[in-house]
């Protein structure tokens, strides 16, 4: 199986790109949002999901591993294939997908080309009580190799940490530790983030989520 390609963009097509890795060109299917960020001659690292069937061997590529993880996660739902999963990722950023999944918001998925109301409802319903995917080697939104803190630069205070990626899960984890069910915690955090924005400080999100969960 191929999990990652590191090479140079050789060509970009309507729904695929050729990545040259040491003289071998790999044909990789990509969503429109990914293709728009690729240019011939560009050095890239592509996270790959490999599909092997009796009559086909296909590679699907993503610039971020969390997009790949959601691509796989969405296809666990009946009626969602690679085309529909790509359409959702093109129409909705993964942070919004996570919020919509937690809230069971079908209107978010209905924005994707080719995803009708019936399928959007099924996606929202089935994702509502499921934990979001984490990716292969790191939490949502976190780079696999975080840069070292610069010398002479003060570290950010915990309260100023933006709630995206792993911090979103930190907020959910804090609520679970306080005795709330995971599905309720995720919905509360998603509701707060939708209103306060993804850059809201972690402590504020936990506090507002507790208000959201209050009887």
DSSP codes of every residue in 17-60: EEEEETTEEEEEE--HHHHTT--TT-EEEEEEEEEEETTEEEEE
Q: Give the helix/strand (H/E) hosting 49.
A: strand 43-53
Please give the structure tokens belonging to residue 133.
């995917």
Rounded Cα distance between 120 and 118, Å, is 5
Q: What is residue 152's predicted lDDT score, i.e. its pLDDT?
A: 42
Q: Which range (18-22, 75-79, 193-197) has the least confidence?
A: 193-197
Is pLDDT of 138 > 50?
no
Cβ(171)–Cβ(162) below 8 Å: no
Is pLDDT of 64 > 80?
yes
Domains and CATH numbers, the chain: 4-62 (2.40.50.140), 78-127 (no CATH), 158-213 (1.10.8)
Q: What is residue 165's predicted lDDT score, i.e. its pLDDT?
A: 55
Mean per-residue pLDDT of the chain: 82
- Name beta bridge partners: 61: 48
Rounded average pLDDT over 93-100: 86
- Predicted confidence band at 200 (pLDDT cuts at 50, 70, 90)? confident
Is pLDDT of 100 > 60?
yes
Of 90-94, 146-150, 182-186, highest mean pLDDT: 90-94
Of 137 and 127, the structure prediction assigns the larger pLDDT to: 127
**Reduced DSSP (H G I as helix, E B as strand, rest coil) percent helix, strand, coil of the chain, to 5:** 45, 20, 40
Read off the pLDDT of residues 145-183 as tens digits, 9 standing for 90 and up: 433 444 443 333 333 344 455 667 788 888 887 778 877
For the entire predicted model, the pTM comes to: 0.67
Q: How many CB atoms lie within 10 A of CB 45?
A: 14
Backbone angles phi, psi at 16, to 5 degrees: -155, 165
Backbone angles phi, psi at 90, to 5 degrees: -70, -35
Alpha helices, DSSP H only, in 49-110? Answer: 65-74, 82-91, 94-103, 106-110
Read off the pLDDT of residues 19-55 as tens digits, 9 standing for 90 and up: 999 999 999 999 999 999 999 999 999 999 998 877 7
Rounded Cα distance between 69 and 169, Å, is 16
């Amino acid at each position: 199986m191929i999990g990652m390609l590191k090479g140079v963009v050789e060509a970009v097509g309507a729904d695929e790109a050729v990545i040259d890795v040491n003289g071998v060109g790999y044909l990789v299917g990509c969503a429109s949002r990914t293709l728009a960020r690729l240019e011939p001659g560009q050095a890239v690292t592509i996270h790959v999901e490999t599909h092997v069937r009796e009559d086909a061997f296909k590679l699907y590529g993503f610039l971020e591993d969390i997009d790949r993880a959601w691509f796989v996660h969405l296809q666990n739902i009946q009626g969602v294939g690679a085309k529909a999963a790509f359409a959702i990722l093109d129409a909705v950023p993964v942070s919004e997908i996570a919020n919509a999944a937690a809230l069971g918001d079908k209107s978010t998925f209905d924005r994707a080309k080719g995803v009708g109301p019936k399928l959007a409802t099924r996606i929202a319903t089935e994702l509502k009580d499921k934990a979001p995917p984490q990716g292969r080697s790191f939490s949502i939104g976190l780079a696999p190799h975080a840069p070292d803190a610069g010398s002479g630069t003060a570290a950010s205070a915990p309260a100023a940490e933006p709630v995206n990626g792993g911090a979103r899960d930190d907020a959910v984890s804090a609520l679970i530790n306080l005795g709330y069910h995971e599905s309720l915690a995720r919905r509360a955090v998603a509701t707060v983030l939708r209103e306060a924005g993804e850059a809201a400080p972690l402590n504020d999100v936990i506090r507002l989520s507790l208000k959201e969960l209050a009887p």
